Amino acid sequence: MVNNSMDALVILGATAGGKTALAIAAARHFDGEIISADSRQVYRGMDLGSGKDLAEYAEIPYHLIDIAEAGSEYNLFQFQRDCYAAIKAIHQRRRLPLICGGTGLYLDAVLKGYHLVEVPLNQQLREQVSTLSDEQLRRKLLEIKPQQHNRTDLVERERLLRAYEIALGEARAEPIDPFVWQPLVFGLKWPREMLRRRIRERLNQRLEQGMIAEVENLQAAGVSWEQLEFYGLEYRYIAHYLQGKLRRNEMVQQLANAIGQFAKRQETFFRRMEKHGTRINWLNAQNDPFAQLCRMVEQYRISL
């Protein structure tokens, strides 16, 4: 391990930014294991659409990839629990955990130590609030938990109900000891136009590799069109194409634009994390980010 006072590395950034390649290089250099912080890579069979790139890992151990069935729910509570467990197990092997991903909410939950509890579905509660409008339910949620990290929880009825259930469960739960760790956080930064070009190139590559067939196979295996919509942009737009709602050229163009907009939202989320106290060491992605990371780690070690 690098140093007992820096017990993990975190590598974050927008989609198509090269996070996986950097994490693999760092894992080889620092004798590490990689923990994925991606809300879709947990699902089996969702490979090209989620950008797993498993062949790149070679001998590097990885965690929180392919641990849930497509069509099931894997939530923030489960990720935080599983991520902390993976960190502890890697430390026991005297290796360095490297958390790598672009799902901002997952990253923030483990870096800030969100107070999360496992909350089962509460049918009685749902019946009690069934007559409330979305706006009334939204107000009740915000009274309990004013800071909502995921804005879609305030828009879609089912997510709003679930967020309200969880907020009540968390408010009633006994406090727990926080997970204490000292990660060093890095971010990959690209010029906007270059990142958009990388997004389009990667999209074309994955379409050539069979991403449309991947979505067809998931649907044939029982994952509904509605569930595919929930699993993100690639699955949503390809599902629309397969249902005849979009022509192929329309699907590719709209999907590329949507991924570009998503990348902007990721960057906005990371800036918000910084405003709320997370220190992110930004790396120039065009200028050997691995060398930059190694220099910063060495400087950090010297300063201890």
pLDDT tens over the chain, length 304 residues: 444 456 999 999 999 999 999 999 999 999 999 999 999 999 999 999 999 999 999 999 999 999 999 999 898 999 999 999 999 999 999 999 999 999 999 999 999 999 888 888 889 999 998 999 989 998 988 888 887 656 555 667 888 888 888 888 878 777 667 888 999 999 999 999 999 999 999 999 999 999 999 999 999 999 999 999 889 999 999 999 999 999 999 999 999 999 999 999 999 999 999 999 999 999 999 999 999 999 999 998 877 6
The pLDDT score that the predictor gives to residue 2 is 42
Task: Give the total number of structural domains in the chain.
Answer: 2
264-275 in b/e burial notation, b at 16+ Cβ within 10 A? eebbebbeebee
The span from the CA of 33 to the CA of 24, in Å, is: 9
Is there a domain that residue 72 lies in? Answer: yes
Is 16 labelled as part of a ligand binding site? Answer: yes
- The token pair at 73 is 């729910």
Nearest one of 44, 48, 22 to 34, comparing CA atoms:
22
Is 102 labelled as part of a ligand binding site? Answer: no
The pLDDT score that the predictor gives to residue 155 is 62
Q: Which residues fall within 8 angstroms of residue 126, CB to CB, at 6 or more apart?
A: 161, 165
Is 19 labelled as part of a ligand binding site? Answer: yes
* Same structural domain, 261 and 243: yes
- The token pair at 215 is 């979505």
Is there a domain that residue 99 lies in? Answer: yes
* Same structural domain, 186 and 155: no
- Neighbouring CB atoms inside 10 A of 30's CB total 16
Range of the domain at 153: 123-172
Is 189 labelled as part of a ligand binding site? Answer: no
Domain limit, last residue, from 172, 187, 210: 172
* Same structural domain, 127 and 83: no
* Same structural domain, 109 and 166: no
Is 18 labelled as part of a ligand binding site? Answer: yes
The span from the CA of 44 to the CA of 68, in Å, is: 6
- Neighbouring CB atoms inside 10 A of 282's CB total 15
The span from the CA of 20 to the CA of 100, in Å, is: 7
Nearest one of 28, 182, 33, 29 to 94, comparing CA atoms:
33
Is there a domain that residue 188 lies in? Answer: yes
Nearest one of 121, 109, 105 to 169, comparing CA atoms:
121
Describe the chain by its helix, strand, coil percentages, rounded to 5. 55, 10, 35
Q: Which residues fall within 8 angstroms of residue 20, CB to CB, at 6 or more apart?
A: 51, 53, 56, 100
Is there a domain that residue 206 lies in? Answer: yes
Is 15 labelled as part of a ligand binding site? Answer: yes
Asked if residues 213 and 241 have their Cβ atoms less than 8 Å apart, the reply is no
* Same structural domain, 197 and 229: yes
State whether residue 93 is helix, strand or coil.
coil
The span from the CA of 67 to the CA of 249, in Å, is: 34
* Same structural domain, 133 and 201: no
